[in-house]
Amino acid sequence: MSQLINIFLEPAKAFRALQDKPGFVLPMLLLAVGSGLFGLLYFLYVDPEWFARHQEAQVLAGNPDMSPQELEQMRRFMPGARTLAWITAPMAIVTVVVVNLIMALYYLLAGKVTGTGISFRRGLCLSAWAGLPGVLGVLAGLAAMYAGSNQVGFESLQMLNVDPLFVQLPMDHDWARLAKSFSLLNLWSWFLAALGWRTWFNTGWGQAIVVSVLPGVLVYGVMAIFAIL
């Protein structure tokens, strides 16, 4: 439990303690359960009728040429808010686990390229602990949800994302998807991953930063290209 405090206050100390015993269950469990709970509570809290209209507006923003028949068919098959509550929660938990497994595999491959020889378990540990700031995003979203109206989109509760923190772009804006997806907590997580890599393998900051930010640069870079095109 002391690592939960140290990862925020003394992250280098936390990673040194994790070097010989690379545990990953606790941070991954916290983020997975927190994300699932956030999704569950949101869809149980939001106004179902308002959410249906909001969902329809999102679809139309991405497909403005939908015919009335297609729109009616979409309404029939689109799940309601209460149904989504029980779909989103387990999906969020699974997503957190899968992303951490993918990142562990990435660190394993990065270790082979750089010659550090990081194991899959240690890569999983690095991914899980570096992703722990995401819990703060969950807490901020829950606070904003219960402090405001029950007629607000889930994307608007990502309080530490570029949108809505700095800008509020319409759903059909070219840069909306990137702005609504990029969280400032990514910067914190990338720093923690770089610090952990540097602490464990005594590398320079250059290698550590490249290893930590490369997946994010690829993902958000592709999103930026689509926005430009």
pLDDT over 90 (residue 76)? no
pLDDT over 80 (residue 64)? no
With vertex at residue 214, the alpha carbon angle to CA 208 and CA 215, rounded to the nearest 5 degrees, is 125
User: Looking at residue 22, what is its pLDDT?
Assistant: 93
Q: What is the mean pLDDT of the chain?
A: 94
Q: How many CB atoms lie within 10 A of CB 68?
A: 7
d(C-alpha 156, C-alpha 154), whole Å:
5
User: Looking at residue 69, what is its pLDDT?
Assistant: 81
User: Looking at residue 185, what is its pLDDT?
Assistant: 97
pLDDT over 90 (residue 60)? no
Under the banding of pLDDT at 50, 70 and 90, the label for residue 61 is: confident
User: Looking at residue 171, what is its pLDDT?
Assistant: 83
| The model scores a pTM over 0.85 | yes
pLDDT over 90 (residue 179)? yes
pLDDT over 80 (residue 188)? yes
d(C-alpha 148, C-alpha 229), whole Å:
36
- Is-contact 53 61, C-beta < 8 A? no
Q: What is the CA radius of gyration of the chain?
A: 20
d(C-alpha 130, C-alpha 101), whole Å:
13
Under the banding of pLDDT at 50, 70 and 90, the label for residue 222 is: very high
